[in-house]
Amino acid sequence: MSQQTSTVSPLNFPQPGVEKERKLIGDRGGYFLKRFEGEIGTNVSACYQCERCTNACPVAHYMDIKPHQVIRYIQLGWREELLQSATIWVCLSCEMCSTYCPNEVGVAESINHLRNMAAHSSIPPKEKQLAVFHQTFLEELQRHGRINEFWLMKAYSLKPGIFKEKIKSGLFKDELLKGLTLWKKGRLVLLPGRSRAIKDLKKVFRRKQGEIS
């Protein structure tokens, strides 16, 4: 991840001269903001740009659109800009931003929702490796009902292009040595366990994907 430069002015508003308007989405004709708030049940409109969320975020430096700006973009209905951003993949879902918000705006929930929207859209992810990792994480969770670090990293490494990239960057060797150290200390379980709640979890995933109501 490289440090990114913000694409909005220091005043948190669109740069002067950049013509943007709220965009209508879908054939229901609702504004992006309204629909977004309805989908995740958070009051994005309540944000008054105090920036506490951004100041609390441990990875804000790596984001091209800072957390408070994400909320502003949602208010403006800038869907494409949000789904094309590195931010939605860089976010750790640690929820520090939501915790520190004086208006109880669900910043982390909003970013998580945007990430899911991006995963189901045709927009290519700006942080490809993080997007692949995110997808692999969900697949492994569906498979076992819980995450086993060894199997997660194995599945991730086998995704197209990832192994080659890891070898090229030297990351594979690093991970191998770290894994070996953890295994020697008994901190790495090689056989994945299966959660007893796997059936319920699969139902949640299918419901999310719209297969069952």
Point out which residues bind ligand SF4 (CB under 6 A). 47-53, 56-57, 59, 67-68, 71, 91-97, 101-103, 105, 107-108, 111
Question: Of 57 and 152, which CB lies nearer to ligand SF4 in the complex structure?
Answer: 57
Q: Rounded CA gap, 61 and 1, in Å? A: 10
| Interacting residues of 79 by C-beta distance below 8 A, sequence separation 6+ | 23, 25, 32, 117
Q: Rounded CA gap, 191 and 188, in Å? A: 9
Give CA separation, 197 vs 145, 152, 194, 203, 211, in Å.
7, 19, 9, 10, 19
CB of 69 to ligand SF4, least distance (A): 9
| DSSP for residue 31 | B
CB of 106 to ligand SF4, least distance (A): 9
Question: Of 116 and 157, which CB lies nearer to ligand SF4 in the complex structure?
Answer: 116
CB of 8 to ligand SF4, least distance (A): 13
Question: Of 95 and 139, which CB lies nearer to ligand SF4 in the complex structure?
Answer: 95
CB of 98 to ligand SF4, least distance (A): 7
CB of 119 to ligand SF4, least distance (A): 16
| DSSP for residue 116 | H
Give the N- to C-terminal CA distance of the chain in Å, as an integer: 38
| DSSP for residue 192 | P
Q: Rounded CA gap, 47 and 23, in Å? A: 20
Question: Of 58 and 161, which CB lies nearer to ligand SF4 in the complex structure?
Answer: 58
Question: Of 63 and 162, which CB lies nearer to ligand SF4 in the complex structure?
Answer: 63
